[in-house]
Amino acid sequence: MKKLVMFAALAAVTLVACEKDEDDSTGPGTNSQLIVGTWTSVLIESSTYDNTNSDTTYSLSIPGPFLTVTFEADGTFKTQSLGDTAVVTGAYTLNGNTLLAHADGDTIGGQISTLTSSKLAFDNSMTYTEDSISYTDYASFEFQK
């Protein structure tokens, strides 16, 4: 569970290529303006795929609220699982539509499907090797302000 929370926390702050919905109530704004604020998870879905054996080894769906992420205008963030005292902090960089989060020596990215003044949704994947087996973690996140 700790691995999922860390993955979720880091993934929640690492996003690539943004799309803005037509119904943004704040009017025109840049991604750097829209991302600033505190976001609360609505739904987090995650699965792990064993690339070596072609099998899904793990699936999880967590309805919100479960996690909060706060993006600051100065390029820092903090994230916390609700009910937990541990807070993950780090820095994020936004260059055009690319947003990367850096925390605990890791940098992770994802694909935003929605970014408005009140909704943030994105997907993330990460491939790694453990005990000579290749795995890919897939996660989908939906947050609201």
The token pair that represents 85 in the structure block: 């005292």
Average pLDDT over the chain reads 79
* Strands 98-103, 106-108: pairing kind: antiparallel
Average the pLDDT over 53-67 and give the result.
89
Q: Is 55 exposed, middle or buried (0-12, 13-18, 19+ CB in 10 A)?
A: exposed
Average the pLDDT over 67-87 and give the result.
93
pLDDT at 19: 36
pLDDT band at 144 (very low <50, low <70, confident <90, very high): very high
pLDDT at 96: 61
Q: Would the CA dihedral through 104, 108, 110, 116 be positive or negative?
A: positive
How far, in Å, CA of 82 to CA of 101, rounded? 20
